[in-house]
Structure 1
Amino acid sequence: MNGDSVVVAGAGLAGLVAARRLADAGAEVTVFERRATVGGRVRTETHDGFTLDRGFQVLFTAYPAVRRELDLGALDLRYFRPGAVIARPGSRSVLSDPLRDPRAALASLRNDEVTTTDKLRTLLFRQHVGSRTEAEIFRSTDRSIQSFLREWGFSESYIEHFVAPFYGGITLDRSLSTSKRVFEYTFKALSEGAIAVPATGMGAIPEQLATAAREAGASIQLSEGVESVADHDDGVTVETASTTKEADAVVVATDPKEAQRLTDIGAIPTDARGCVTQSYRLPESAAPTTRRKLLLNAKDPSPNTVVPISEVAPEYAPGSEALFVATFLGDAALERNASALAEETRLTLEAWYPGRDFADLEPVRTHRIEFAQFDQPPGIHEGLPDHRAPGGRTYLAGDYTAWSSIQGAMRSGREAAQAVVRDL
């Protein structure tokens, strides 16, 4: 590809992976990003000494694309312990993976929220997904997570009290109407690896990818969004607010709605799953501990989860303070007053920890994320667009060509770059 020029529209995970891969192949690569920072939906900010990710996000270390594209050691990861704490008023119980967290095995065995049959079926299901690849899972006959679990014989109690809040946090869909393929593959990833956050926040992931792209020779232009793309016989014309650039090819790696606008590809999914995450400070001396596990709301959907994030990554909070993050699902949460959300979290924690006072729980930041993922009902993956869907010299890179996840985004960036290299 020596001498070929490629524009990448968007500096999210997919765009940054594509840029590095193309630059490694010898292309002259220019990335245009409308924001002042890289990362797309994966971003981190600091506020009053706290490290705040935009939405509660974690890294699944077992994802093949994560292992391929990232230097995990350099990210200085902080790890969650497997499993979660199932919480309801006056009651908290631990459910964990005894194979990966032996110290929690006894507590998990004593957990009466989940039947012994459910625990045995979980081990069988782990063997089932362990033998299947990502491609095999996403080609399998599809149905909803809820229907799939019932077919496997899991109890309604297990589905409602553990799977709904836990996978509600992963798919942003507590009703479990999402494709069972997402459940299968993320369950496989959880069984084979860990979940973690970088010590400096999830934003360290795109920053590392951007550094790698620049070192490979790519130029990244921030605060410079692509306005239009025109494909012609021998290349493309890319217009930004301030410049016109002729190139041999363009990779559109923007968010789904913008990608649809730039390419006119109707198959790009734009139906969204949204959420609100609210971060709170609390004196460390008053903060409950969960041994680095999530708190799942088994009784109510709001908040769906509460995460003691500074217990996992102490660097997220300054001095003697603790940082908690609550997640609220759905469009209704996006419209709610921040004070009302904070009061709901406070009352929920006081119900889970009787006799403890959470009056000092203070909101730090509220993130309202209208498009956190694209909606993934059963059967959606067959209709997602290919990297070459626009035709000519225009290509697509984004999780909307695979499935909504960090794995889908990074894999898509690599495959889009491979398509460009083959064609040019």
Structure 2
Amino acid sequence: MDDPRRVAVIGSGPAGAAAAQTLADAGFSVTVFERDMAIGGRTQTYRADGYQLDTGAAFITNFYPRVWGLATTLGYESEICQLNRVTGLSHDGRMATLDIGSPWSFFSFPFVKLVDKLKMLLWTLGLFFKRKTLDIGQPSTLVAYDSETVSDFVKRTLNERILDFLVRPGIEPFWYFSCDDVSAGLAAGLTAHAPGARFYYFKDGIDRVSHHLLAKTTVKTGTTVKSVMSRVGGVRLSIEGEGTTFEQDFAAVIIATTANVAVELIGDAWTDLGVDASCHAFIETQRYVANIHVAFIIERLAERPQISSLFPVGPGRHSLAALSFHGVKDKNAVSMSHELISVYLSDEESWRLMTLDDETTSRRCYELAQTVYPNLPDAYSVFKITRRPYAIPIHEVGRYRKAALVNQGQKTTSSSVLFCGDYLATATVDGAIHSGQLAAETLIQRVL
């Protein structure tokens, strides 16, 4: 008889790592399969030539309760440093700064009239008083706002200028999708925690979260699971690794990949594996935004901008999502003559450039950066280009409600296959961790 505690996890990002850690702590025998040579998934950190670069998510906030809870449990609090979150907003050739935690900065912001600032303040306070019931990592708490888009919500309750100059800059530069396309649940959850929000980074790279979570787990990197098949008493995985293809049996598997990869892994075996029809439909219909992130090495700026990032703002969609200055968190900043900057493209621009060569892509990215920050030097070298066609799940209207139902349904399923990932929460490190923990707890309760 198979050991019911022998479980596979596919994917080593925060969701898979959290699932593996939760299972291992409960005495399960866990094997994690990761197709890349490095762990972390879309939170991988790239290190070369004395620099380090978070290729995807690059910060956490003080309202990520699971990340902070694990920091205490696993002992990585000392690796977390507070980040300067004074941002620059560029509009019509002008740049203004905004410190999300400073009332003075907010009321000095030039692109919005005083009456609109007062409207935004009252709106924010209304959501702030509901903050204990709004958790962006838990979709069931966001369902009440899941009937319209962010844009429609803000235009209905505030106005379009507030949307363009205050709400969009808090969402679109970080998630790359448009407020026209995503559920108001995201805006409600974020705004509720905005007063007093603080931001942090990992001094040794954000992939340290996954490393800490997987410290006591067997991880097979450079190993690709090709398919998941049903068998009596569990599942069978078809695996490619170390130059060979083989099969391996487990009592259960947690698929902690993007939704599109989950679809490829299951193929036509959804019914055979006992996956609920609503779960199947949810995963197959999940859409993603693309992102291209290019990091450049430039001569250290003589006059360092007192901002961490710079975003274009105003009506319409922008090709550039964000320009980030890594000098604010570079531990070698004093001794090095050069520094890193990052250019993040919007979804539409990323798709336009996705298949173009690296030289064309990097040149376009740097040109966009210079349009919002002309003081950048003309000379640069490319440090790293990251192309992700499936960068971030789009939390469309109704998806939070459906995600909550899928999460609830997985608790009662008898299937040997469970799913987790940021698409079943909100696209944050904390949401991914919560999803992984939920999947693991379901298996634990089933066995115990």
Match of 2:156 among 132, 139, 151: 151
Deviation at 1:165, TM superposition (A): 3.9
Q: Which whole-Å CA distance do the structure 1 matches of 2:313 and 2:145 have between them?
A: 30
Match of 1:422 in 2: 445
Match of 1:140 among 130, 136, 145: 145
Corresponding residue SS for 1:174 = coil
Match of 2:186 in 1: 182
1:238 aligns with 2:243: no
Q: Which whole-Å CA distance do the structure 1 matches of 2:310 and 2:400 have between them?
A: 31
Matches within 5 A, 1:51-66: 51-55=52-56, 57-66=58-67
Match of 2:293 in 1: 277
Structure 2 CA distance for partners of 1:106 and 1:229, relative to 1, 3 Å? closer
Match of 1:222 in 2: 221
Matches within 5 A, 1:30-49: 30-49=31-50
Answer whether contact 2:14 2:429 (CA < 8 A) is retained.
yes
Match of 1:380 in 2: 399
Answer whether contact 2:80 2:203 (CA < 8 A) is retained.
yes
Answer whether contact 1:63 1:189 (CA < 8 A) is retained.
no
Answer whether contact 2:88 2:97 (CA < 8 A) is retained.
yes
Q: Which whole-Å CA distance do the structure 2 matches of 1:378 and 1:107 have between them?
A: 32
Report how many residues are paired: 411
Structure 2 CA distance for partners of 1:106 and 1:284, relative to 1, 3 Å? same
Answer whether contact 2:320 2:344 (CA < 8 A) is retained.
yes
Question: How big is each residue's C-alpha offset from its partner over 1:360-405, in whole Å with a ceiling of 9 and x where there is no partner?
Answer: 3443222211111122211122333333597422211222222332
1:170 aligns with 2:184: no
Deviation at 1:14, TM superposition (A): 1.1
Q: Which whole-Å CA distance do the structure 1 matches of 2:429 and 2:142 have between them?
A: 17
Letter matched to residue 260 of structure 2? K
Q: Which whole-Å CA distance do the structure 2 matches of 1:12 and 1:240 have between them?
A: 19
Corresponding residue SS for 2:41 = coil
Question: How big is each residue's C-alpha offset from its partner over 1:177-236, in whole Å with a ceiling of 9 and x where there is no partner?
Answer: 21111122233344354222211222222122222xx1xxx3222222223333345333
Question: How big is each residue's C-alpha offset from its partner over 1:274-306, in whole Å with a ceiling of 9 and x where there is no partner?
Answer: 11111122222435412x432111267132211
Q: Which whole-Å CA distance do the structure 2 matches of 1:117 and 1:127 have between them?
A: 15
1:303 aligns with 2:303: no
Answer whether contact 2:299 2:338 (CA < 8 A) is retained.
yes
1:395 aligns with 2:412: no
Corresponding residue SS for 2:180 = coil
Answer whether contact 2:57 2:206 (CA < 8 A) is retained.
no
Structure 2 CA distance for partners of 1:73 and 1:410, relative to 1, 3 Å? same
Letter matched to residue 246 of structure 1? D
Corresponding residue SS for 1:422 = helix
Q: Which whole-Å CA distance do the structure 2 matches of 1:351 and 1:5 have between them?
A: 54
Letter matched to residue 422 of structure 1? Q
Deviation at 1:120, TM superposition (A): 2.1
Corresponding residue SS for 2:390 = strand
Moved more, 253-262 or 158-167: 158-167
Structure 2 CA distance for partners of 1:267 and 1:315, relative to 1, 3 Å? farther
1:207 aligns with 2:227: no
Deviation at 1:342, TM superposition (A): 4.6
Corresponding residue SS for 2:235 = strand
Match of 1:366 in 2: 385
Corresponding residue SS for 1:164 = helix
Structure 2 CA distance for partners of 1:375 and 1:422, relative to 1, 3 Å? same
Taking structure 1 as the reference length, the TM-score comes to: 0.86
Answer whether contact 1:389 1:395 (CA < 8 A) is retained.
no
Structure 2 CA distance for partners of 1:235 and 1:174, relative to 1, 3 Å? closer
Corresponding residue SS for 2:310 = strand
The alignment yields a C-alpha RMSD, in angstroms, of 2.9
Match of 1:18 in 2: 19
Answer whether contact 2:59 2:206 (CA < 8 A) is retained.
yes
User: Sequence identity, in percent?
Assistant: 19
Deviation at 1:339, TM superposition (A): 4.3
Letter matched to residue 263 of structure 2? Q
Letter matched to residue 251 of structure 2? D
Match of 1:50 in 2: 51
Letter matched to residue 58 of structure 2? Q
Taking structure 2 as the reference length, the TM-score comes to: 0.82
Answer whether contact 2:134 2:142 (CA < 8 A) is retained.
yes
Corresponding residue SS for 2:151 = helix
Match of 1:120 in 2: 118
Corresponding residue SS for 1:251 = strand
Matches within 5 A, 1:95-114: 95-97=98-100, 100-101=101-102, 105-114=103-112
Deviation at 1:417, TM superposition (A): 0.9
Structure 2 CA distance for partners of 1:373 and 1:357, relative to 1, 3 Å? closer
Answer whether contact 1:60 1:190 (CA < 8 A) is retained.
no
Match of 1:259 in 2: 262
Letter matched to residue 143 of structure 1? E
Question: How big is each residue's C-alpha offset from its partner over 1:30-76, in whole Å with a ceiling of 9 and x where there is no partner?
Answer: 22222222111110112332212223632233112212233475462
Structure 2 CA distance for partners of 1:3 and 1:153, relative to 1, 3 Å? closer
Answer whether contact 1:18 1:413 (CA < 8 A) is retained.
yes
Structure 2 CA distance for partners of 1:323 and 1:233, relative to 1, 3 Å? same
Answer whether contact 1:279 1:363 (CA < 8 A) is retained.
yes
Corresponding residue SS for 2:261 = helix
Deviation at 1:169, TM superposition (A): 1.6
1:404 aligns with 2:403: no
Answer whether contact 1:83 1:94 (CA < 8 A) is retained.
yes
Letter matched to residue 266 of structure 1? A
Answer whether contact 1:165 1:304 (CA < 8 A) is retained.
no
Q: Which whole-Å CA distance do the structure 1 matches of 2:294 and 2:177 have between them?
A: 18
Deviation at 1:323, TM superposition (A): 1.5
Structure 1 segments, 4+ long, off by >4 Å, are: 315-318, 335-354, 388-391
